[in-house]
């Protein structure tokens, strides 16, 4: 892979531990249209049928990312959800859930290439800021999901 393309690529891996049964956590994560109710940085999700939609995100940076989403894998038995992304980010994201002694181990993995023009222009100097912004978004998601699971 050449440097030119590499500078636009990101790989994220995040682990959440939640005090709720895996099937309950899976049921919440499966309903992406409800993410804005519990995940502050997910500003909008608009379904386009059963397996696709559009989502808008914003974390600390004053910039919205808009992506099209299509389901690639929805496997309740294996507790895996995987989506393909297009738009400002192009790539894949996957949730994998497993039982733990006190609840659920949630693994989030994302491999994307930035397509948004401004983010590509700032790719090299902005990389540490973009990674920190993503970490803040994921922290907000974990806190929001934990609170949502307690309230339901």
Number of folded domains in the chain? 1
**Cα(116)–Cα(120) distance, rounded to whole angstroms?**
6
Within a domain: 73? yes
- Which of 21, 146, 141 lies closest to 93, judged by CA? 141
Within a domain: 2? no
Q: Residue 96 burial (CB < 10 Å; 0-12/13-18/19+)?
A: middle
Within a domain: 25? yes
| Per-residue pLDDT in tens (0 to 9) along the chain, 152 residues | 465 667 899 999 999 999 999 999 999 999 999 999 999 999 999 999 999 999 999 999 999 999 999 999 999 999 999 999 999 999 999 999 999 998 999 999 999 999 999 989 998 899 999 999 999 999 999 999 999 999 98
CATH of residue 144's domain is 3.30.530.20
Within a domain: 5? no
| Per-residue confidence (pLDDT) for residue 56, from 0 to 100 | 98
**Cα(134)–Cα(60) distance, rounded to whole angstroms?**
9
Within a domain: 104? yes
Within a domain: 89? yes
Give me the domain span that covers residue 34. 16-151
The pTM for the full model equals 0.93
Within a domain: 1? no
Within a domain: 7? no
């Amino acid at each position: 892979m050449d440097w030119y393309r590499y500078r636009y690529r990101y790989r994220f891996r995040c682990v959440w531990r939640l005090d709720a049964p895996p099937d309950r956590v899976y049921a919440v994560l499966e309903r992406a249209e409800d993410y804005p109710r519990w995940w502050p940085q997910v500003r909008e999700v608009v379904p386009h049928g059963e397996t696709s939609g559009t989502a808008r995100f914003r974390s600390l940076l004053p910039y919205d990312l808009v992506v099209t989403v299509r389901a690639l894998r929805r496997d309740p038995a294996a507790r895996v959800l995987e989506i393909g992304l297009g738009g400002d980010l192009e790539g894949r994201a996957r949730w994998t859930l497993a039982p733990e002694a006190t609840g659920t181990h949630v693994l989030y993995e994302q491999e994307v290439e930035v397509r948004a023009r401004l983010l590509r222009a700032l790719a090299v100097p902005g990389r540490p800021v973009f990674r920190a912004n993503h970490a803040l978004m994921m922290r907000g998601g974990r806190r929001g999901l934990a609170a949502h699971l307690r309230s339901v």
